[in-house]
Structure 1
């Protein structure tokens, strides 16, 4: 047999399309050619595969070897095809039986000694394979042992880990169970990470309450205050009070991080917390590149994106957040390809009120002119501010508060209230309040007469947009859920309005 056909998978955005690896041996001058739109990493597989086969004591055929990666118009990248190419050469040259190859998919990068090295995107590959199995094409996947736990997060996926090329060959050469690879059966426990505790924050009762409301409804929040008032400290504690992740949310989040090679089993069911530096580019934030990869907003999917020193980010970089904040996904278009990544993240931002940072500070240290303050705050555009649900002032602590021991509630106590509010939302509408559409707001966020009158007066006085009006209603709904109230009353609207007065009105 001079032809062998195996299956593997490529990565294209969040998808893992099937790739057919065809290996043909022909007479003629010895040559090794890989076709099918391979990128540089795939072309370099020739040298890795040759050395791996020779060091594993196999014969490398002195013939004309042609490897076709189909479909030909799908770009192929990384070393994930090394294992399939090596097995194809062995099967086509008769050094290994090939009658069972069609029952498996293969992925793995080979070292020169024949060891299997981990790849990125293993979870996306096993998920795509499992979906194909539900349509009548059941297969198992053989991949590096380091990727097995990640790939097995997809329930019912048949994952067979291996450490080397020799072990995989022994699997297909084995009879009566000898040398056969075992299916991965490991258990995954996640969400055991220890977070900084909210009780460590001294004072700041209003900011702590705002943080609780934001966490309970998944709302975005901007904290404004002088340096050293605890803005970053508060933001670092929000992952510890967020509601637990569902199985589907955990799988979505893990799949995105797997594409970037940033997923660890220890992160399973742990909400991501991303805090990029203010020098980050637009591509780093939303994703991109010749072969599009997810950016910070997608790596924070189902978690928190914290932007400290918000006005220090380039304005063009901040503007790319507008659409993902509304839609919950980002589409990256390039001349040759297009990729769509999920980006349903919770934005938490922090900034100083002026260039020197001390506007409104009791010490009177600020000497910024009104024009300087306006220019500094003007680095954040109105349309972006309009999309941030809550804008909270974090005041400087008085001396006696600073010297006092922390007496606030612990993260565990606050998280329990938030979990109850989150459950109310899921029972009522199947999603968090932040994700309600206009029609769902009309159905689930009805205010009583007094609350509606207060809301109408605030909208007239503060000249809100329709978007701002809807966001205040969603905020009021979350506050009512925390109070375990069925309807929205004036006290809930009054608190929501305080969180929405606007940066430039202070």
Structure 2
């Protein structure tokens, strides 16, 4: 009996931190105490571990006084992933395994009453944090092994139950070779097919705005009557975006790992497509922005990181939810503050809003079938505040296609538009490589001070209309900068070196074409 040590990993937001697990076992009044600011799931692990330990000879945990400490003790520990680390530390303290064998190994997993080691969410960011901390050996549940092996530089050891794990550690301590537990091979489901832009009938202006949004990373508002194709257009935006890079793919996959949406785990692979997230208009602020009582979880804006967040029927969302989008749109992250902690989640996404012209949806054209009063229409669009719309670069009206368009040949396919988008983004990456901190990016990321300064400032002849709008007060300085960014994107799509008067005017017109205030 004595002191046992091993390691585990805790989760703070979507990032992990290494935790030292210490266990002291001695004779005395039986008890099992866990310190280290754990939540209720951590405190209940004592019952699970005592039941699992009863399956192993020479491990009478329920008859001993056990004290476990999770260090750093001032950092909150959440979830059942510490079970396996606590179990191994207790086993080391009871001399069932040698401390030197398990001291520098990270253990992640939930322990069942029958001794099985069950999967937990967030294994990818947990193993990644262990790797960054210099850990080279990680023990995870068999079901999480495929996900854990996505992290390079770490030897992943899958385990099915604690009896087998203790037996393997005992053999390692005696210098014997131990075979790894085989991980079942599961065929990954085929990726969902990309929805093709050619399926959208007509809508030349909206398609142009969609291409510009994809090329420059701009936010988009689609306003129009029901059935005009707003949702179809929004769903085809991810197909126009280029595949995620290695770093972006790891970030997105880690977020989905925390949310538990990666599937079975055996067939886990990095997410290479930009995610598309479309929450229902009845979603709460915690569901969209992030939060929750006790355990702070990422919301839809974090799930859409490096992808698209689509808010269909935007005016039907709670006004507080829409207002809370303003800061993430500017910063690319969101901080959730609680009395005991503040958690920051990444939230760099493209926002696509869709709105009907009025509550009944018939207030377009002459509006003869509209049953809404002027007050209802004003209240409906009043939820889309000016500061929020000021952050949306492209605002276009989507007209319902007429009968003549129904028999028209298919439009341009997604592959052709995506090729132009990729070429435009490549030009932007080369242009802003020395300007942006991340070593390249899209026009939407460029500070306005850069576009208004040398050598990127456009001549007065190209910004005449834009300058006049700013002088009249019909355009804010934020809107001025966003219009400049959009003009640069239009020039990139057209293959021009710099935007001229035509591109700037087009960018300005696309900013006010939705007629939301009508």
TM-score when normalising by structure 2: 0.90
The answer for the alignment partner of 2:321 in structure 1 is 317
CA–CA distance in structure 2, aligned partners of residues 248 and 173 of structure 1: 39
Give the structure 2 partner of residue 89 of structure 1.
90
Is 1:263 the counterpart of 2:262 in the alignment?
A: yes
Which residue is equivalent to 1:221? 220
Corresponding position of 2:208 = 209
Tell me, in whole angstroms, the C-alpha distance in 1 between the residues paired with 2:324 and 2:409: 39
Q: Structure 1 CA distance, aligned partners of 2:405 and 2:472?
A: 35
Q: What's 1:45 paired with?
A: 45
Unaligned runs of 5+ in 2: 433-439
Deviates more, 1:5-14 or 1:89-98: 89-98
Shift in Å, 1:156: 1.9
* Displacement after TM superposition at 1:260 (Å): 2.3
Q: C-alpha offsets along residues 466-496 of structure 1, whole Å, 9 cap, x if unaligned?
A: 0000000000111111111111112211221
Which one of 132, 143, 148 corresponds to residue 145 of structure 2?
A: 148
Structure 1 CA distance for aligned equivalents of residues 187 and 212 of structure 2: 31
CA-CA distance at 1:226 after TM superposition: 0.3
Counterparts of residues 405-484 of structure 1 (less than 5 Å): 407-429=410-432, 430-442=440-452, 445-460=456-471, 463-484=474-495
Any residues of structure 2 matched to 1:180-329 within 5 Å, and which? 180-181=179-180, 192-264=191-263, 265=268, 268-289=271-292, 290-329=294-333
Determine the C-alpha separation between the residues in 2 that align with 1:49 and 1:124: 25
Q: Which whole-Å CA distance do the structure 2 matches of 1:327 and 1:364 have between them?
A: 43
Question: What is the DSSP-based 3-state SS (H/G/I as helix, E as strand, rest coil) of the residue aligned with 1:392?
Answer: strand
Q: How many residues align?
A: 501
Please say if residues 55 and 112 of structure 1, whose CA atoms lie closer than 8 Å, have aligned partners that are also in contact.
no
Q: Is the 8 A contact 1:191 1:269 kept in 2?
A: no
Q: Deviations over 1:146-192 (max 9, x none)?
A: 222323333323322222223322332235663243799x9999994
How many Å separate the matches in 1 of 2:386 and 2:297? 29
The offset of 1:448, in angstroms, is: 4.2
Contact 2:222/2:398, CA 8 A, preserved across alignment? yes
**Alpha-carbon distance in 2 for matches of 1:162, 1:117:** 9
Query: Counterparts of 1:255-404 in structure 2 under 5 Å?
Result: 255-264=254-263, 265=268, 268-289=271-292, 290-361=294-365, 364-402=368-406, 404=407
The alpha-carbon deviation at position 288 of structure 1 amounts to 1.2
RMSD: 2.5
**TM-score under structure 1 normalisation?**
0.93
Relative to structure 1, the CA distance from residue 43 to residue 431 in structure 2 (aligned partners, 3 Å threshold; closer, same or farther) is same
Which structure 1 residue ranges, 5 or more long, are not aligned? none
CA distance in 2, matches of 1:195, 1:52: 47
Displacement of 1:369 after TM fit?
A: 3.9
Alpha carbons of structure 1 residues 190 and 246: separation in structure 2 relative to 1, 3 Å: farther
Paired with 1:406 and 1:435, the residues of 2 have a C-alpha distance of 37
Where has structure 1 moved over 6 Å in runs of 4 or more? 186-191
* 1:16 match: secondary structure: strand
